[in-house]
Structure 1
Amino acid sequence: MLVKWIRCGVVDRPGFDRAQRRWAALREQPGFCGQGGGWSRSQPGVAHLFGFWDGRRSYDAFMAGPHDGIAAGQEGTFEMLGARLFEHRLDVKVGFQPLFADADLLRVALCKVRPGHADHFTLMQQRVWNPAMAGSPGMLRGFFGQDSGDDFLVLSLWDTATEHGKYRETAVSRLSERAELDADVLSVAGDVVDVVGAWTV
């Protein structure tokens, strides 16, 4: 599975919201698996979107065909757009599906891993982070992916902001030390996103 992470700096929030609902047309595209997103909690006017495809071939076919026609409806509503692609490496909880209807909050983390440390970082994700997150109340499902280099995406879906807050307060520091995170990563950047149900496809 392939995920496309899109980050937009929005200048016309109502217009962007209306246009985002038109992406329901994705349901008709071969290989499309699901899409969801919402507004950043920490950065006003920033929207995050996550689109899932069954592989690169179907994604490329969509980009070469219908994409521009759907995207045209959103022109002028944002001033900045960044997009990244990540290939699935691990589920954070067994049986990941790109479903968003039951999620209230998304946590996204971009980890820039030191050269030569990707294997250890992935092993620690599998042995330390994933079991802890999977066992946390309120954590619904998650996706761990890698780009063509040493950047990794960790996306987790939570049923409430409260449960995510409890996990962050009680577990993150301890797990970071156990996983030797500082030895593996150059930086970790992320955001917490309030899910907009109307954007779910």
Structure 2
Amino acid sequence: MAHVFAFWESRAFYDSFMARSHDRLASAQVGTYKNLQAKLFDHRFDVKTGFEPRFTDADVVRVAHCRVHAARVENFALMQEKVWNPAMAGSPGMVRGIFGEAPGHEFLVLSMWQSAAEHGKYRVERVERLALRAQTEADVAALAGDVVQLEPSWTV
């Protein structure tokens, strides 16, 4: 399995790429993948510090794709900002991250870590307690996620 993250300077650049180049590039890749899924998330806020799509100072990315109950969207976003973000920001080894939103009450939380070991310390020590405090179980209808070991040769 591969995760590919792309960051666009603006919606206009993304739309231009889709109109001018996407189909040509996609047709050249036919047969090289199975079960491709793509989602476009709009930046809602940064995690820890000003986000930049630079991966040279991180070895691991934790990605969480959340589908949230419609009535709980604002609570979910508020808890991300007031509970989860400060906890991640205060964790040694957490570099930076981003919180994005897509139509249909979908959110993406992408956090970058210096190593799997550093992310593991955060996860073991805090996640259960934070989930209770943030009422995550009441907010989230579905959660898919992964811890991704970055491959430097894939960074462009």
- TM-based fold match above 0.5: yes
Match of 1:54 among 2, 6, 9: 9
Match of 1:64 among 4, 12, 19: 19
In the TM superposition, what are the counterparts of 1:36-185 in structure 2 within 5 Å? 46-185=1-140
Distance across 2 between alignment mates of 1:106 and 1:73: 28
Calculate the TM-score normalised by the size of structure 2: 0.95
Distance across 2 between alignment mates of 1:95 and 1:190: 23
1:57-84 Cα deviation digits (max 9, x unpaired): 2101101112233344433221221000
1:82-126 Cα deviation digits (max 9, x unpaired): 000100111011211111111111110011111121111111011
Distance across 2 between alignment mates of 1:59 and 1:119: 27
Partner letter of residue 198 of structure 1? S
Distance across 2 between alignment mates of 1:167 and 1:58: 36
Partner letter of residue 177 of structure 1? L
Displacement, 1:166? 0.7
Distance across 2 between alignment mates of 1:199 and 1:105: 13
Structure with the larger strand share: 1
Q: Which runs of 5+ in 1 are unaligned?
A: 1-45
Calculate the TM-score normalised by the size of structure 1: 0.74
> RMSD value over aligned CA atoms?
1.2
Partner letter of residue 197 of structure 1? P
Give the paired residue count.
156
Distance across 2 between alignment mates of 1:71 and 1:104: 28
Helix, strand or coil: the match of 2:58? coil
**Structure 2 residue aligned with 1:28:** none
Helix, strand or coil: the match of 2:124? helix
Partner letter of residue 95 of structure 1? G
1:29-73 Cα deviation digits (max 9, x unpaired): xxxxxxxxxxxxxxxxx1001100122221011011122333444
Distance across 2 between alignment mates of 1:75 and 1:190: 26
Helix, strand or coil: the match of 2:3? strand
